[in-house]
Amino acid sequence: MRTCRVHGFSDNAWIMAELDELRVAVAHHWFASMRGGEKVAAAIAAMFPDAPLFALMVNPGVLPPDLARRPLTTSFIQTLARCSGSHRHWLALFGRAAASLDATAYDLVLCSDAATIKGIRTRPDAIKVCYCHSPMRYIWEQTDDYARHTGAAGRLMLRLCAERLRRWDHAAAQSVTAFIANSQHVAERIKRCYGREATVIHPPVAVDFPPAVERPDDYYLVVGEQVEYKRNDLAVEACARLGRPLIVIGDGPMLPRLRTMYAGAGSTIRFLGRQPDEVVREHYRRCRALLFCGQEDFGIVPVEAMAAGRPVLAYGRGGAVETVVPGKTGLFFEDQRAESVIAAIEAFEAREGQFNAVSIQQHAQRFSYERFDGELIAYLETLVRKGHDA
């Protein structure tokens, strides 16, 4: 019997009764770091304290204590990544690696996936649920974009294996009992790529910020990995052209180029690199607004900024349109061009006093861990009951 623990639901035994009778396992594509997808996997695992973990690979020291103490099964990618220095070199083997993992001892397997872990082996009568962060962008809808920004070896690998891995991934998706998407944007992508319907349950976000500051400091903020698709270069260029102070938090391959172009004497741009969570949270609280220029599947960063009481100026595509309320918690711009970001900043400054920090914080509470736990457990309970009724 597995013990199911849900934030705020300890008295609702009826929600957990069916699940308590199941042998449960949790699978995540990989724990290379503890970013958004890994935090969701950890939140799912926290509901089932006795559930073991499965993953293609895990970086030593990455797992938080609650996960590190659990039984862990990894694939042969673990050894290959240790030898080569990166799991991404072995893209062509991701499908085979997932299929090598044996979870046939479990009645309910919860897959947190943005790669191939949905292909983990389960019994025909088991319930396999995939919480999908996104189908693999680099083999489905953005292969050319990824190929442009990778080296010659990466481009060759994509050309050789993308089509074969797409076929495998589509087949693996048919073994899933039910899909959960982290946003409507991803649910539509699941439908296009896999031909499957998905229920939307937004991921949990740490929204437990103190009351917003009365007077923010005079700077805009960018938070996140400095990679091409996040388009943080647009925020940097816009603020440099306007002469507005901007603080950029996060590391990544784009950072050296941005520093070379925009750092130096008289620059209004400050690059802080990677920072501890408490430093990031304090910068959220004190910025004028967050600039969010990429198209994300969900986008935890805008929700964190709103939880701090600060508005978000975001590209009006992807998950941001499901979290930011224009005119109330932020503004959208329609094109990924510096001119559009400049226009959004100027429009925001013309009405900055209209944004109410208390209302913004209240809006962010709808993405809490407690809400996530309750929605997910209720959904799983419904699946289990349907299985018993069949």
Q: Note whether 170 and 277 are same-domain residues.
A: no
Q: Note whether 41 and 187 are same-domain residues.
A: yes
Number of neighbours of residue 386 by Cβ within 10 angstroms: 12
The gap from C-alpha 282 to its chain's centroid, in whole angstroms, comes to 21
pLDDT in tens, 47-75: 999 999 999 999 988 999 999 999 999 99
* Domain annotation covers residue 339: yes
Q: Note whether 332 and 374 are same-domain residues.
A: no
Q: Note whether 304 and 358 are same-domain residues.
A: yes
Higher pLDDT, 51 or 90: 51
Beta carbons within 8 Å of 21's beta carbon, 6+ residues apart: 1
* Domain annotation covers residue 8: no
As a whole number of angstroms, the distance between CA 20 and CA 27 comes to: 18
* Domain annotation covers residue 263: yes
- The average pLDDT across 181-198 equals 97
CA distances from 5 to 16, 275, 377 (A): 8, 32, 10
Q: Residue 335: helix, strand or coil by DSSP?
A: coil
* Domain annotation covers residue 19: yes
Choose the weakest-confidence range: 48-62, 72-86, 188-202.
72-86
Q: Note whether 170 and 250 are same-domain residues.
A: no
Q: Note whether 74 and 123 are same-domain residues.
A: yes
Percent of the chain with pLDDT over 90: 77
* Domain annotation covers residue 154: yes
Report the domain count for the chain: 2
Q: What is the CATH number of the domain that holds 45?
A: 3.40.50
Higher pLDDT, 278 or 162: 278
Q: Note whether 268 and 294 are same-domain residues.
A: yes
Average pLDDT over the chain, rounded to an integer: 90
* Domain annotation covers residue 54: yes
pLDDT in tens, 333-383: 999 999 999 999 999 999 999 999 999 999 999 999 999 999 999 999 999
Q: Note whether 21 and 69 are same-domain residues.
A: yes
For residue 249, give the nearest of 283, 299, 219 by alpha carbon: 283
Q: Quote the domain boundaries for residue 240.
A: 220-366
- The average pLDDT across 81-110 equals 88
Q: Note whether 351 and 379 are same-domain residues.
A: no
Q: Where are the alpha helices (DSSP H) in the chain?
A: 13-20, 36-46, 65-68, 77-84, 94-99, 143-148, 152-173, 184-194, 232-242, 255-262, 277-286, 300-307, 338-350, 357-364, 369-389
SS3 for 116-141 is CHHHCECCCCCEEEEEECCCCCCCCC
Q: Note whether 233 and 178 are same-domain residues.
A: no
AA identity, residue 203:
P
Determine the pLDDT at residue 138. 72
Element (H, E) at 109: strand 108-113
Q: Note whether 142 and 226 are same-domain residues.
A: no
* Domain annotation covers residue 329: yes
pLDDT in tens, 121-136: 999 999 999 999 999 8
Percent of the chain with pLDDT over 70: 88
Q: Note whether 90 and 118 are same-domain residues.
A: yes
* CB contact at 8 A, 214 and 282: no
Q: What is the CATH number of the domain that holds 301?
A: 3.40.50.2000
pTM: 0.88
Determine the pLDDT at residue 2. 43
* Domain annotation covers residue 209: no
Determine the pLDDT at residue 164. 86
